[in-house]
């Protein structure tokens, strides 16, 4: 994986020193809160309901055992023994003290990590497919490009005061697992007829209070133009994006209000001015960065393992795990394993310090020291030998991260909601926990099959509810929590925004409503193979609406 060069190391160290001094000046009364707040936010430090919250960047969701062990250490030493993996492949600590944060940032810098650009109106952590570099369906590993974008966007002086935050996602596979069409810029690696690498480019996707699917602006952007074209998009956005109203300040609104063709012309015009300048990517530089992401040496092995088959026969939990938590690897004899951070009835995305330590050990022991965090709030071991699965599974069971539910109804995305977040209008986590308990038996989950439930505790949509097959949005109505349900959303290559099915539900009613929807689906699907989303797209909302509210 990528290792800091001298430039990276020096800017992270400088930034840590700067923040240390800013905290000192704040505590000495030399900076007011109004002056300090933008500075702390630039370093990922929020103030939430109960305490400060520190969001640490995990670039494109990739980290190693040593880094994970450091996160465990921070959770144990400076927090309350746990961290929370987010929907942008980052980790949040919920209880740090202001006075400790300079020390925490120093500790992070020791393992080449930081919290820069995890907040504020700048280019945020670039996210990528969590199976990057391993997936069988991959055109190319997206992470070298994500790293190039990271270097370009880190402390970019022109883009440090954008109209609003800016999120970029990249996938290397035709099956989009990085939700690129709901990002400000979405990139999909592809090859042209001559076999050259390039990108399909989407602009103006996003969730929040005005959900929109990104619009395609390029069918094929050559590799060498990645930075110049990205810079052109950012320049057009920085110049024309609205600054009068923060709720209309994202690039999706600009795309919507300007019109795609006019905006595309603006981008292309800007691009023409700079395409042959310093941002043109030299081939040798791309190959140099690519070398950092060279796959570990993996020997081709048999595609079945006797040990695995023997255990599958006699261990139902293991069989369930194999059925759902493995992703096909490009090297025969290997697989990518999802470690579920969604125990039945548990808190989606939370990991204890002890679990993080175990995960670090397992990465070193079974996974060539590579880890990924998925935007679905799980942890991935991308390169595991098939025959190691029984031994690995035993350790996962002991650490309580062995649930075989990846992609199933209990693999719920949930934002922190009103249990932590100052913006939330309702709780998310307890709803996720109750749904998980309701559907949590192995047989029932497997029978229902792939079903993505996503829950947000306010219209800012951190829980991605708009793109949930079933989306749940928590609101406040007359002082009570109140949940609106959407159906038919999806964040993959066939992205769609879910439709509100009807009037919302109280906290007491909402889990029953979800069960009604699930039962309705089971009753009308054409066969076990037809997923909830496929069935919904075939029959529309009418049967679901009728089941919830009765005949119109």
Partner 1 sequence: MKVITANRLLNGDVVWLGENAAWVERVTLAKVFDGKDDVDSGLAIGQQAEKNQEVVGVYEMDVTLEEGVIVPVRLRERIRAAGPTTHPQFGKQARAVSA
Q: Measured from the CB atom, is 82 or 145 closer to partner 1?
A: 82
Cα–Cα distance measured from residue 375 to residue 467, given in angstroms and rounded to the nearest whole number: 13
Give me the least distance between CB of 346 and partner 1, in Å please.
9
- Residue the block writes with tokens 């974008």: 149
Q: For residues 89 and 150, is the Cβ–Cβ distance under 8 A? A: no
Q: Measured from the CB atom, is 263 or 414 closer to partner 1?
A: 414
| The two structure tokens encoding residue 384 | 């595991």
Q: Measured from the CB atom, is 443 or 479 closer to partner 1?
A: 479
150: closest CA among 112, 100, 193? 112
Q: Reduced to 3 states, what is the DSSP secondary structure of residue 461?
A: coil
Q: Measured from the CB atom, is 29 or 297 closer to partner 1?
A: 29
- Residue the block writes with tokens 């159906």: 487
Q: Measured from the CB atom, is 424 or 535 closer to partner 1?
A: 424
Q: Measured from the CB atom, is 492 or 507 closer to partner 1?
A: 507
Cα–Cα distance measured from residue 255 to residue 271, given in angstroms and rounded to the nearest whole number: 17
86, 343, 423, 452, 485 from 427: Cα distances, Å: 16, 19, 11, 19, 15
Give me the least distance between CB of 423 and partner 1, in Å please.
10
Cα–Cα distance measured from residue 86 to residue 456, given in angstroms and rounded to the nearest whole number: 12
Give me the least distance between CB of 82 and partner 1, in Å please.
9
Strands (E), 401-531: 413-414, 453-456, 470-477, 480-487, 499-500, 505-506
Give me the least distance between CB of 36 and partner 1, in Å please.
9
Q: Measured from the CB atom, is 57 or 429 closer to partner 1?
A: 429
Give me the least distance between CB of 49 and partner 1, in Å please.
5
| CB within 8 Å of 486: residues ≥ 6 apart | 465, 466, 468, 470, 471, 472, 473, 497, 498, 499, 500, 501
Strands (E), 32-150: 45-47, 52-56, 62-63, 82-85, 91-93, 127-128
Beta strands 52-56 and 379-385 are: unpaired
- Note the residues at the interface with partner 1 (CB under 8 A): 26-29, 32-33, 47, 49-52, 80, 95-99, 347, 418-420, 424, 427, 429-430, 433, 476, 479-481
| The two structure tokens encoding residue 436 | 């998980």
Q: Measured from the CB atom, is 232 or 429 closer to partner 1?
A: 429
What pairs with residue 474 in β-bridges?
Answer: 483
Give me the least distance between CB of 79 and partner 1, in Å please.
10
Long-range contacts of 26-31 (CB under 8 A, 24+ apart): 26/98, 27/98, 27/99
Q: How many CA atoms lie within 13 A of 378 on its CB side?
A: 29
Give me the least distance between CB of 259 and partner 1, in Å please.
40
Give me the least distance between CB of 80 and partner 1, in Å please.
6
**CA 551 to the chain's CA centroid:** 39
Q: Measured from the CB atom, is 6 or 33 closer to partner 1?
A: 33
- Residue the block writes with tokens 């994006």: 241
Give me the least distance between CB of 444 and partner 1, in Å please.
23
Q: Measured from the CB atom, is 25 or 280 closer to partner 1?
A: 25
- Residue the block writes with tokens 């920085």: 238
Q: Reduced to 3 states, what is the DSSP secondary structure of residue 397?
A: helix
Give me the least distance between CB of 130 and partner 1, in Å please.
25
Give me the least distance between CB of 35 and partner 1, in Å please.
12
216, 429, 442 from 57: Cα distances, Å: 28, 22, 34
Phi, psi of 518 (to 5 degrees): -65, -45
Cα–Cα distance measured from residue 135 to residue 219, given in angstroms and rounded to the nearest whole number: 23
Q: Measured from the CB atom, is 96 or 449 closer to partner 1?
A: 96
Give me the least distance between CB of 429 and partner 1, in Å please.
5
Give me the least distance between CB of 264 and partner 1, in Å please.
43
Q: Measured from the CB atom, is 253 or 462 closer to partner 1?
A: 462
Longest C-alpha distance within the chain, in Å?
68
Q: Measured from the CB atom, is 52 or 240 closer to partner 1?
A: 52
| The two structure tokens encoding residue 488 | 């038919």
- Residue the block writes with tokens 């009604």: 516
């Amino acid at each position: 994986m990528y290792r800091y060069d001298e430039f990276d190391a020096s800017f992270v160290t400088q930034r840590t020193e700067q923040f240390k001094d800013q905290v000192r000046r704040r505590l000495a009364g030399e900076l007011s809160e109004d002056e300090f707040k933008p500075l702390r936010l630039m370093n990922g430090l929020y103030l939430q309901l109960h305490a400060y919250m520190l969001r640490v960047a995990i670039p494109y969701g990739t980290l190693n055992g040593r880094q994970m062990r450091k996160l465990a250490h921070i959770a144990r030493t400076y927090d309350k023994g746990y961290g929370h993996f987010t929907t942008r492949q980052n980790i949040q600590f919920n209880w740090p003290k202001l006075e400790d944060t300079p020390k925490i940032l120093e500790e992070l810098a020791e393992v080449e990590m930081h919290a820069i650009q995890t907040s504020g109106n700048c280019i945020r952590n670039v996210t990528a497919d969590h199976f990057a570099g391993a997936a069988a369906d991959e055109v190319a590993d997206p992470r070298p490009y994500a790293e190039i974008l990271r270097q370009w966007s880190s402390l970019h002086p022109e883009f440090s005061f954008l109209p609003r935050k800016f999120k970029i996602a990249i996938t290397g596979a035709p099956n989009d697992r990085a939700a690129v069409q709901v990002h400000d810029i979405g990139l999909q690696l592809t090859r042209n007829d001559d076999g050259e690498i390039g990108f399909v480019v989407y602009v103006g996707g996003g969730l929040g209070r005005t959900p929109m699917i990104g619009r395609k602006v390029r069918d094929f952007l050559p590799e060498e133009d990645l930075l110049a074209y990205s810079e052109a998009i950012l320049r057009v956005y920085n110049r024309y994006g609205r600054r009068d109203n923060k709720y209309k300040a994202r690039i999706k609104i600009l795309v919507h209000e300007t019109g795609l063709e006019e905006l595309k012309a603006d981008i292309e015009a800007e691009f023409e001015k700079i395409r042959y300048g310093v941002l043109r990517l030299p081939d040798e530089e791309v190959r140099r960065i690519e070398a950092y992401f060279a796959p570990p040496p993996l020997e081709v092995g048999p595609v079945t393992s006797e040990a695995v088959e023997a255990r599958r026969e006699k261990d139902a939990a293991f069989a369930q795990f194999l059925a759902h938590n493995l992703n096909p690897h490009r090297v025969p004899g290997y697989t990518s394993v999802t470690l579920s951070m969604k125990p039945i009835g548990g808190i989606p995305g939370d990991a204890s310090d002890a679990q993080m330590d175990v995960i670090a050990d397992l990465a070193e022991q079974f996974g060539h020291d590579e880890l990924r965090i998925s935007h679905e709030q799980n942890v991935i071991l991308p390169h595991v030998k098939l025959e190691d699965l029984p031994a690995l599974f035993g350790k996962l069971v002991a650490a309580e991260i062995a649930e075989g539910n990846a992609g199933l109804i209990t693999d719920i995305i949930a934002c922190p909601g009103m249990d932590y977040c100052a913006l939330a209008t309702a709780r998310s986590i307890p709803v996720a926990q109750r749904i998980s308990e309701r559907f949590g038996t192995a047989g029932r989950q497997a029978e229902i099959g792939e079903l993505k439930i996503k829950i947000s505790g306010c219209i800012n949509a951190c829980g991605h509810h708009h793109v949930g097959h079933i989306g749940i949005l928590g609101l406040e109505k007359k002082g009570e929590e109140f949940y609106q349900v959407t159906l038919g959303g999806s964040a993959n290559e066939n992205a769609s925004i879910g439709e509100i099915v009807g009037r919302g539900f109280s906290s007491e009613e909402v889990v029953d409503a979800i069960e009604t929807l699930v039962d309705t689906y089971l009753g009308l699907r054409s066969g076990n193979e037809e997923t909830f989303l496929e069935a919904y797209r075939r029959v529309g909302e009418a049967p679901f609406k009728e089941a919830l509210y009765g005949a119109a």
